Amino acid sequence: MVNSRYPATRMRRTRQHDFSRALVQETKLHSDDLILPLFVCEGKNIKETITTLPGVYRYSIDNILQVAALAHSLNIRALALFPIIDSNKKSAMAEEALNPNGLIQSSIKAIKDKLPDMGIITDVALDPYTLSGHDGIVDTNNYCLNDETVAILAQQALSHAQAGADIVAPSDMMDGRVAQIRQTLEDASYSNTLILAYAAKYASCMYGPFRDALATTGQLGSSNKGQYQMDFANQNEAIHEVLLDLQEGADIVMVKPGLPYLDVIYRINQECKIPVFAYQVSGEYAMLQFAAQNGCFALEDAMLESLVCLKRAGARAIFSYFALDAAKILLK
């Protein structure tokens, strides 16, 4: 007879051993859940530190190939490429974004030549290429012009597909851009190129180190991206955005930032039944790095906890600057 003084169910029984905790763990993080963002710059043999992103670097294409090979060896299946464009190549109409021999296009070709089975995801947005620092073409009041921008984004996406990109990822938050990109790809016989739509990209302060990495800090001046990125107070709007992008032909959707928006990730995953990716953005990464440097916690513990929490919320894959370090631990 069970003594009535004690509970029949003791939740701690499965927690007492490492093996039993592992057996009942609900969420498993694997190295192939991780996508490594990489910053690529012009030049040769370049590996530049980024003050606000400890452990993250700007690489020239020759050095990107070494990092890509390391990622491949750690079972990281995809890279996300972001360009640092020289100031003399920036313009009001972002013409450099369409250069078939541009930095991103050349990077794609180089990686695919060395690692043909590595997935390549490219950022479709104009902010690295514009004088204004906005994700699109602006008028005299620094207002981002939607339709004029979308026309250029579609051609930018096509140029990436032609260079060998597997996934094009519009991160601009212009209305209707997924439909035009999809149609442009179809018309050019790139129907198998995937679209990862940044469907719920919030106007967040946590992108600061990313802009530092791209050398675009301060370029916006007194303007801001709230005119097209989402208000961080809104959740229903994210569902609306996702549904629109799905109707327009998106294959996967992105929530950005990640950890402060777990409710959004969870809700999209539950209601829309579509693969959801999360971006653990530069500010999230930097906060964990600097907190660990100041003795707040062990970086490895915080890194893994944050990544597992993103997956637990429903993220199928995670863009993270921790990808290499996390993969090394996960493959032990």
Query: Are the CB atoms for 202 and 257 separated by under 8 Å?
Result: yes
Closest CA to 209 of 43, 36, 56: 56
DSSP state of 74: T
Strand partners for 106:
none
Place of tokens 């999360």: 278
SS3 content of the chain, % helix, strand, coil (to 5): 45, 20, 35
Buried b (16+ CB within 10 A) or exposed e, 216-242: beebeeebebeebbbebeeeeebbebb
Q: Using alpha carbons only, how large is the chain's radius of gyration in Å? A: 21
Structure tokens at 110: 């180089």
Identify any residues that bridge with 58 across adjacent strands, giving them in sequence order: 39, 48
Which of 291, 99, 264 minimizes the C-alpha distance to 254? Answer: 264
Amino acid at 20: S
- Establish whether 311 is a catalytic residue: no
Q: Which of 90, 109, 225, 256 is catalytic?
A: 256
The yes-or-no answer on residue 256 being catalytic is: yes
Q: Does residue 186 contact residue 212 with C-beta atoms inside 8 Å?
A: no
Q: Active site residue: 90, 109, 201, 225, which one? A: 201
Give the residue numbers marked as catalytic: 201, 256
